Amino acid sequence: MTTPTAPRRVAIVTGGSRGIGRQSAERLAADGLAVIIAYASNDREAQETVAALQAAGGTVTAVRAEVSDEGAAEALFTTAEQTYGGVDVVVHAAGIMRLKPLAEFQVDDFDRLHRVNVRGTFLVNRQAARRVRAGGAVINLSSSVVELALPTYAPYAASKGAVDALTRILSKELRGRDITVNAVAPGPVATDLFLDGKDEATVERLAKMNPLERLGTPGDIAEVVSFLAGPGRWINGQVIRVNGGAI
């Protein structure tokens, strides 16, 4: 007598075509999940990611979706359900960064930052709350800079502080659903988002903030995402700092 095969779990990874999002998508695909990669605009980059994951044996589809658009966020989840039958894991890694001293920060930049980082998290998490299946996990990407309080990061850190609050409260609102909600808060990680606009001396200084004296890698973060998406079922409503001990 054959044992029935468990249905494949399905993950949505926003910001999944680059950096931490891409590495998280690769890790979840390697863990056996079917993966929907959501990306904002770069079709070539998204298709390269899909091709790489498929070549490694993964089941993956890319969907162009602006996470701060209400209709696009809803359509993303609908596509996952229609393509793979449901949603079990949501990794919300889409985000942008703008760095300047507060006195010099432009209102348009502030509004754009919060539209993507806060409104986008709200819209994706709202869909997740409505549609993730029992046994699932929601994992938001926050930042250790909320606690590090580095100069020039105030508006960005404020947007990630909002992510932390949404995460903690949503975990309580999903009581009885067997769905965990956590945030992963990286320190400095060697991604294009982090390295853009920083000179070598600045990068070296930030790398040595932690006792391991190096930048994190997207793979370091993806390991924690994988754990929270799979065996880490007793961790819920937490903001987990993944920063080599910088705080």
Predicted confidence (pLDDT) per residue in 143-196, tens digit: 999 999 999 999 999 999 999 999 999 999 999 999 999 999 999 999 887 888
Contacts made by residues 118-123, CB under 8 angstroms, sequence distance 24+: 118/159, 118/162, 118/163, 119/68, 120/14, 120/67, 120/68, 120/73, 120/92, 120/94, 120/95, 121/67, 121/92, 121/162, 121/163, 121/166, 122/166, 123/67, 123/68, 123/69, 123/70, 123/73
- pTM for the model stands at 0.95
Which pLDDT band holds residue 6 (cuts at 50, 70, 90)?
low
Averaged pLDDT, 67-81: 97
Q: Is the pLDDT of residue 5 over 60?
A: no
Regarding the domain delimited by 10-186+218-242, which CATH topology (the fold level of the hierarchy) does it fall under?
Rossmann fold (3.40.50)
Q: Is the pLDDT of residue 2 over 50?
A: no
Predicted confidence (pLDDT) per residue in 105-141, tens digit: 999 999 999 999 999 999 999 999 999 999 999 999 9
Catalytically active residues are 156
